[in-house]
Amino acid sequence: MHCMTSKSVLIAKNTLMLYSRQIFTMLVSLYTVRVVLEILGVEDYGIYGVVGGLVVFFMFLNVTNASQRFMNFALGRNDREQARDVYSTSIVIHVLIAVLVIILAQTIGLWFFHTQLNIPPERQSAALVAYQFFILAKVIDILQAPYRATIIAHEKMSFFAMLSIVEATFRLGIVFLLPVIQFDKLKAYVFLVCITNIVILLIHKIYCNRTFELARFRYCSDKELYRQMLTFSGWNVFGGLAAMSREHGINIMVNIFHGVTVNAALGIAGQINSAIFQFVTNFQVAFQPQIVKSYAAKDYDYFMRLIFRTVKISFCLLFFFVLPLSINAKFVLQVWLNNVPEYTVVFIQLILAFSLIRATLGPFWMSIQATGDIKRYEVIASCFLFANLPFSFLSLWMGFSPIGVLFIRIGLEAVLFAVLVFYLGARIELPIFKFFCEVILPIFIIAGISSFVTIFSMNIFVGNWNRLIISCIISTISIGCLMYQFGLSKQDKISLLNWIKKTSRRIPQ
């Protein structure tokens, strides 16, 4: 019991650390989107989104999850030598992946850029320069992966949070520097982002080499480890390709059928969603090492409780933001942006709805990742991800609104969730009926009651600012109370109350 309590405290501390970091980075992200859109203009911002999406599409080759899983598993078994081998093997694999990304981006990517993208002729040259810098920036991201995996596996979230704040500060500096630069803003912006990534990579490397004894590269001749990591990575790559086809393939389709202005609207909606979704990502990052380590230690009871808890809290944490933002999206955009592209409001509402479902899938992936047997999971999930492409293409080709592609995404994700629940019931013996009663039912109760109370309360008031403030207050209180009543187990409530009492005693009277 004491061991489990200490693990829960560690998760809570890591989550708090990551949340503190995310509040700052979210504010910076939202501010930079506003300023960059204003400086670049709708057209160049759309070009930035579609060109970046083309490069990111090749990031399906990134195998970060493999590094994370094998590092967590080795540390969960307290096998330091194995962890050192995983670190060195991971570096070799990521260097090879980076080279392959460069080759693909400079061949297939360039062909697609010149022949398929719908970019105004007068901006072709600037877009090509931006494309090249994007390639370099994403290659650097790939090379960071072994260091990030090492930091997270050791649960050093304080440094992870600090470095994210440093990176956000650099990006804020770029926004302040951009207006005084005299040459092409789009080229300058992507170049400065690339420089930032290089600096962050160097900081990652220096910290890991100085802090962790295992973070010393050595030649690893363990062919079985290479085989296991590459096999695991292979299915990661397959899943990554499916995810990128949905996220960025659809963005490119929208560009071909509707042009860069609609891409700008998608880009803004995506930036808002990304900033908010990071709160859930950070929460799940804090849980991920414990989920993998508990499975490696064969503590299956704790392993299952972590999955239940992570699904419920992930949904509720995201819903704190989704509910007030969705019902006030039009007003928030009018205050935030000087120029709001068409479709932006409905894009934001639909992407946030999609993310609520997506947030609950994270613990499923972590549980399968812990077992190491990801083949069937990736095949099932990837089929649904790939299905977005033909359905979206058919919708756009038939002349339907670009809004349709997001409805298709939401529908497929909801069906995928249901399918995976039954798959996990067979694969890891997830108790389906208990999962429905303790997770799904409480989620629907929390979402339904809090939505009704918030919408009813805000409609009593007149004025956009009043409605925004009231909806934020009411939604926060209602979700929090309902989460405590229906979302927490009896043991969670006791732990929470004990923590509050212990913390209150430390406050000077």
- What are the two backbone dihedrals, phi and then psi, of residue 116, each rounded to the nearest 5 degrees? -120, -35
Q: Which two tokens stand for residue 22?
A: 């995310």
Cα 264 from Cα 251, distance rounded (Å): 10
pLDDT at residue 141 greater than cutoff 60: yes
Residue-level pLDDT at 505: 59
How far apart CA 453 and CA 450 sit, in angstroms, is 5
Whether residue 321 contacts residue 279, with contact meaning beta carbons closer than 8 Å, is answered with yes
Per-residue pLDDT tens digits for 187-209: 888 899 899 989 999 998 888 88
Three-state SS string over 109-126 comes to: HHHHHHHCCCCCHHHHHH
State residue 490's pLDDT score: 74
Q: pLDDT for 373-404, tens place per residue?
A: 777 887 888 888 888 888 999 998 988 888 99
Could you give the percent of the chain with pLDDT greater than 70? Answer: 87
Least confident of 299-313, 323-337, 359-373: 359-373
Q: Of 67, 40, 374, whose CA–CA distance to 208 is shortest? A: 67
Q: Specify whether the CB–CB gap between 436 and 422 falls below 8 A.
A: no
Listing DSSP states for 75-121 in one string gives HHTT-HHHHHHHHHHHHHHHHHHHHHHHHHIIIIIHHHHHHT----G
**Inter-CA distances, 347 with 43, 265, 416, 488, Å:** 18, 7, 21, 32
pLDDT score at 233: 65
Query: What is the tens place of the pLDDT at every residue in 275-286?
Result: 777 777 767 777
What is the predicted pLDDT for the residue at 464? 83
Q: What is the three-class DSSP state of 62?
A: coil
Domain ranges across the chain: 2-430
pLDDT at 236: 66
Q: How far apart are the first and last CA of the chain?
A: 32
Tens-place pLDDT, residues 22-80 = 677 777 777 887 788 888 887 888 888 778 777 776 766 665 666 767 777 777 677 77
Q: For residue range 225-268, what is the model confidence (pLDDT) as tens digits?
A: 777 777 766 666 666 677 777 777 787 788 888 877 788 888 88
Q: What is the mean pLDDT of residues 87-99?
A: 84
Contacts of residue 142, Cβ cutoff 8 Å, sequence gap at least 6: 59, 61, 62, 94, 97, 98, 101
Cβ neighbours of residue 307 under 8 Å, at least 6 residues apart? 291, 363, 364, 366, 367, 430
pLDDT for the residue numbered 1: 46
Using alpha carbons only, give the angle 263, 268, 269 rounded to the nearest 5 degrees.
95
